[in-house]
Amino acid sequence: MDKHGIPSAPVTEASLSGAVPYKAAVVSYFDGMFASHRQLLSYGARFCGDEPLLAILCYADPRPSLSPGKDTMILTVTERWQYLDALHHVHILPWPIIQEPGGSVPAEGQLWPLDPNKLLTKINRLIPGHELWDNVEMAGLLEQWDREEDPGFVVIDRSFKKVLCPARQPVIQMLSEGSVDLFREETGYAYPLSGRVVAGRQVGRQIGFPTANIQLPDQRKLIPRFGAYAAMAFIGGKWYQGMVNIGIRPTISKEAMHIEAHLFGFDDMIYGEWLTIALIGHLREEKRFASLEELTKQLRIDSQEAKKMLDANAPFKTKGPFVL
């Protein structure tokens, strides 16, 4: 991963063709990066010794058999990629493989298939996560792949077959209520919102609170309750304190949902750069103010409250662009 949080290049079909087989590979959607996902990664690493573990990021049809919330993502593909990329000695293979000429950031939805037979000849042990066994179609495919009696092919490790899938609804409910502090306690990391910085209407700059407008790469990303939040922001390899507004900006004009981050002590032009914000605590609900002057007064109060909240939670432990 580079200083901007851009993940490193993935394992590709071409690089697999001449590679020595991986001692172990784990495969999962990794959405939410729950404790069971981390256990899967730790378990897989046991078989690898000093060699890298292959993490297969499966996302062609996110959680097709899971509900509720099956059409939403807690973490986008890019965020899951970033988390895995921050781990030591892990190689990442998106599956189906991503096709994005000239770039290494996963392009949501731009896919091309990988021949499973080629993949299986490069893995000694394949360890599917709990979501794969929960999916009837995928479980049937895994059974078809299991050639344990033939030493020339992969061993399908069933250790996570009976592991219960994590309950997504409680953490989804936490986010819908704006309880990002409880989400962090439950998952072990602060809820991230990541995307490219795009141009806005510059109203924040006019009133002394310049903001970076984040364009999410996937509209299925779960959005927390509208309002103002204290947050940490990762840009250019550095962390900054700040505050974030999520909502329709009713004081300025009711528009589509916006995510605007104001970084304390930061005023660089960062259009087109990748920005990750980690939500630490909820400050207040979104509301309409009678004038820009009233809004400005409230933003001053918000910034003071955000700094107090962030200082109270500091120092922050981080992993790549994630606050733990």
Q: What are phi and psi of 107, to 5 degrees?
A: -95, 110
What span, in angstroms and rounded, lies between the C-alpha atoms of 104 and 147?
34
From 24, 28, 54, select the one nearest 124 (Cα to Cα). 24
> Rg of the chain over CA atoms, in angstroms?
21
The catalytic position among 13, 143, 260, 286 is: 260
260 flagged as catalytic = yes
What span, in angstroms and rounded, lies between the C-alpha atoms of 172 and 183?
9
Locus of tokens 């795009």: 198
Alpha carbon 202 to chain centroid, angstroms: 28
What span, in angstroms and rounded, lies between the C-alpha atoms of 243 and 211?
9
CA distances 47 to 36, 52, 124, Å, are: 18, 10, 10
Most distant pair of Cα atoms in the chain: their distance: 74
Interior CA angle at 110 toward 104 and 111, to 5°?
Answer: 95
Contacts of 157 (CB under 8 A, 6+ apart): 24, 125, 126, 127, 128
- Partners of residue 262 on adjacent β-strands: 243
Question: Which residues belong to the active site?
Answer: 260
